[in-house]
Amino acid sequence: MKAPKAAGEFIKDNAEKGANWANNNPAAVCASGGVAVVAAPVILTAPLLAAAGFTMSGVAAGE
C-alpha cells in the first residue's frame, strides 16, 4: 500500500495534470468556460461592475 502524499505534493501533481490536460484540450476548456458564463453570467459581470463602482445595492459613489 502506498503512503499518502503530502498535501503540497498532491496539489502540485494534480495542478500539473490539469494544466497538461487543458493544454491538450483547448476546445473543451473554451467550451466549458463559455457554458459557465452563459449559465451564470455573474461570474463575468460582477467583477467588472464592482471595478466600475457598483455594489449589490446600487452605485457606490458617495457612500
Residue-wise pLDDT for 3-58, tens only, equals 666 778 888 889 999 899 989 999 988 888 888 778 888 888 888 888 888 887 87
Cell of 47: 467583477
Is the model's pTM score more than 0.75?
no
- Whether the CB-CB separation of 60 and 54 falls below 8 Å is answered with yes
Cell of 14: 494534480
Q: For residue 21, what are the CA distances in angstroms to 10, 14, 15, 37, 52?
A: 16, 10, 10, 21, 35
d(CA 12, CA 25): 20
